[in-house]
Amino acid sequence: MGLIHIVFGQSSVPVLGEAIAMDEKMSGEIRCFEDDLSVGPLFILDTKEGRAGRRQFWQQLAGIEPVAPAAGEEPAAEEVTGDPDDADLFKSLKAQLKEDPEQEVWIWAGQNARDVCGYYWLVSQLYDFAGRIHIIYLNNLPFLNEKGAVFYPTHLHQILPKEFLKAKKLARPISLAEYELDGDEWHRLMNENAGIRLLEGGKKIKGEPTLFYDKELLSQSGKEFVKAWRVVQQVTGKLKYPVMDQFLGWRLKELIREGKLESRGDLKTIRDFEVKQPGETTENPTTTV
C-alpha cells in the first residue's frame, strides 16, 4: 500500500515526485491542492455559498466577469491559478481513507502562508482519521543547495529531491491536541475573513487587509511608465514570503481603477500593461489610457 502525499501548489509536485522515485518507502501518489488560501475570502468556506464567493474572487483576480467566456476563448497563463475544485479533491481523499483503514497520508508543508493555511484547512476536517494523517513541516530547517551550501527554504520547490529523503524522517502523526487547536485556528481564520494572510513564524498566521501591499506597489511606480510585471517583481523581491504575482497584478488594476495609477496597454496579465504615477511624463506627456 502506497502513501498519499499532499502538497499545496503544482510547483511542489516535480521535486517531490523525484524524491519518491528514489525511495520505495515513500512510494505512493501525490495529491495537489491548488487553491492558495493565504489570499482572498474564507468566510463560511465550508458551505456552498462560501465556495461560490471564493470562486468569484478568483474570477475577479483573473479579470473575468461572472459570465460564460466567449466560444473558443482561453484564459491567459496568469489566469489559471486558484482552483475552487479542491473541495471535490478532498471528498475523494476522504472516501479513500474511509474505504481503506490502513491508508496513511503525509502532508508536506513549507514555511509559507499558503502551505500553513492549506494545512489548517485540511486538519480541520480529518479528525476521524487521527493516527493516519502525518505532517512534515519544514519550519526553519537547514538544507543543502546544489552547491552544497546551507540555506533555509520557505517553499518545497526550493529543495533538492535528494534532500527530501532526509526530510521524511520528520513525518509524525498529527496529535489529537493539534486537531483541536489547529481546527479552532482554521475556524478563526474563516471568521476573521482577512484579505490576505501572512506567516509570522512557526504556524502563526496574521490577517491583513486586501490593500496591505498597495502602498508598496505605489512606491515602486515612478513618474515614467514601467512594465507592471517589473513593479510586481520589485515588490516581491523585498518580501521574505513572496505573495502571488496574480494578486499583486489585480491590486495594480484596482489602483488604476481608483485613479491612483495611470496605465498604458491592455489590462490583462501583468506582462500586457505598464503603470506610472498620475501626471505628465517627460517622455510623452499626452500618453493616457
pLDDT tens digits along 162-214: 998 888 889 999 999 999 999 999 999 999 999 999 999 899 999 999 999 99
Whether 160 contacts 144, CB under 8 Å: yes
What ranges do the domains of the chain cover? 3-189, 211-276
The long-range contacts involving 66-72, CB below 8 angstroms and separated by at least 24 positions, are none
Residue 197 three-state SS: strand
| 21 — pLDDT class (breaks 50, 70, 90) | very high
Whether 103 contacts 131, CB under 8 Å: no
- 3-8 vs 105-110, strand pairing mode: parallel
pLDDT at 283: 54
Contacts of 32 (CB under 8 A, 6+ apart): 6, 7, 8, 9, 10, 12, 13
pLDDT at 179: 97
Whether 282 contacts 224, CB under 8 Å: yes
pLDDT at 240: 77
- In 89-235, beta strands by DSSP E: 105-110, 133-138, 143-144, 150-151, 172-173, 196-201, 204-208, 226-227
pLDDT at 238: 87
CA angle 135, 54, 213 (to 5 degrees): 85
Fold of the domain spanning 3-189: Dna Topoisomerase Vi A Subunit; Chain: A, domain 2 (3.40.1360)
| 287 — pLDDT class (breaks 50, 70, 90) | very low
C-alpha cell of residue 30 = 501525490
Q: Per this entry, what is the length of the chain?
A: 289
Q: Which of 124, 156, 157, 165 is closest to 137 using CA atoms?
A: 156
Q: HSE (CB half, 13 Å, CA atoms) of 1? A: 10
Dump pLDDT digits (tens) for 179-192.
999 999 999 999 99
Of 166-170, 182-186, 248-252, 272-276, the range with the lowest mean pLDDT is 166-170
Residue 34 three-state SS: coil
Would the pTM count as exceeding 0.85? yes
Please list the residues that pair with 5 across neighbouring strands: 30, 106
Residue 257 three-state SS: helix
Whether 189 contacts 195, CB under 8 Å: no
Rg (C-alpha) for the chain, rounded Å, is: 21
Average pLDDT over residues 71-97: 67
